[in-house]
């Protein structure tokens, strides 16, 4: 017997069993959609274990993963940077090698051009010598101021004069300007030297001593008409033995002189220069002789 408002203990146990069975059915039985008056209860999910342990584990894993990723990124960046530096150094080396090769090629080209220049200069000198000789050979006969004596016999030159063909030549040791030199030669019965052939030029050249700048007047001038060179006897110059670039009338240079220096490369057939007639140089006199004549000055 039970009192009003209370339930026997077995009824409670029965109700609990019914509830458990219903829950079991709810978990395992497929709901029949569209049938039944009550909605089907949702499936129960197993709850996440409570407590800080699982969260800490997940956090550690994520942190470890992030660290690994960060280290990987740093390693890749460093590798890329090293590769870039290596490529840059390689390119720099290639560029340097290219520059060295270009420099060597340029040096070789310059050397070759210098050698070609020397060869061309040599050929030019030879051609000028041939041209001067040819032009001198074709020079017209010039009537010189003095008359050849009719007497026969060997030509005798004074001790200070030097014989070549039919003329005696005097190399002065004193310096005068060109007009004074001309007057002195005339006072000796001669004239400032007139030079027509390469042989005559070479003969006089060999008489001159070498020095720093040994210059000697001879008988040529363009004082009357610029660039129209004439000998002291009034005949025009044909050919000549000018140095390259001469005459240039640099400072009103109207008189000709011969130069012989210590430079061994200087040659006889390229030794004429022009200069102002007022300069003081030694000079060369010529006196045309006949057989039996003498350069001795009569008393």
Model pLDDT, residue 233: 95
The residue ranking higher by pLDDT, 220 or 30, is: 220
In sign, the C-alpha dihedral spanning 194, 240, 224, 179 is negative
**Phi and psi of 108, rounded to 5°?**
-65, -40
Spatial separation of the C-alpha atoms in residues 182 and 255, rounded to whole Å:
11
Alpha-carbon distance 68 to 66, whole Å? 5
Q: pLDDT-based confidence at 49, cuts 50/70/90?
A: low
**Pick from 138, 271, 294, 293: nearest CA to 216:** 271
Q: Are 214 and 208 in contact (CB under 8 A)?
A: yes
Q: In the block, which residue shows the tokens 């030029």?
A: 201
The full length of the chain comes to 299
For residue 95, report the phi and psi dihedrals to the nearest 5 degrees.
Answer: -65, -40
* Percent over 90 (pLDDT), the chain: 42
pLDDT tens string 210-230? 999 999 999 999 999 999 999
pTM for this one?
A: 0.49
User: Which has more pLDDT, 5 or 58?
Assistant: 58
Name the nearest CA neighbour of 272 among 209, 211, 221. Answer: 221
Q: Which residues pair with 221 in a beta bridge?
A: 230, 255
């Amino acid at each position: 017997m039970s009192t009003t408002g209370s339930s026997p203990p077995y009824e409670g146990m029965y109700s609990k069993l019914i509830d458990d069975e219903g829950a079991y059915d709810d978990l395992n039985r497929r709901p029949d959609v569209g049938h039944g008056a009550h909605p089907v209860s949702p499936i129960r999910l197993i709850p996440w274990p409570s407590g800080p342990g699982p969260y800490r584990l997940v956090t550690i894993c994520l942190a470890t993963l992030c660290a690994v990723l960060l280290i990987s990124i740093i390693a890749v960046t460093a590798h890329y940077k090293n590769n870039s530096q290596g490529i840059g150094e390689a390119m720099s080396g290639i560029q340097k090698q290219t520059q060295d090769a270009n420099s060597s090629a340029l040096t070789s080209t310059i050397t070759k051009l210098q050698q070609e220049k020397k060869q061309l200069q040599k050929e030019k000198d030879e051609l000028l010598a041939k041209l001067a000789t040819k032009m001198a050979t074709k020079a017209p006969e010039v009537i010189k101021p003095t008359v050849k004596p009719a007497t026969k016999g060997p030509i005798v030159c004074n001790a200070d004069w030097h014989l070549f063909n039919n003329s005696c030549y005097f190399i002065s040791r004193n310096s005068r300007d060109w007009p004074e030199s001309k007057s002195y030669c005339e006072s000796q019965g001669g004239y400032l030297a007139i030079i027509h052939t390469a042989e005559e030029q070479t003969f006089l050249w060999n008489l001159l001593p070498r020095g720093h700048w040994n210059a000697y007047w001879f008988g040529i001038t363009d004082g009357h008409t610029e660039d129209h060179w004439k000998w002291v006897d009034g005949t025009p110059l044909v050919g000549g033995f000018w140095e390259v670039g001469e005459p240039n009338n640099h400072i009103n240079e109207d008189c000709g002189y011969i130069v012989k220096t210590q430079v061994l490369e200087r040659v006889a057939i390229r030794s004429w220069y022009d200069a102002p007639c007022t300069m003081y140089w030694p000079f060369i006199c010529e006196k045309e002789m006949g057989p039996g004549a003498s350069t001795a000055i009569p008393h």
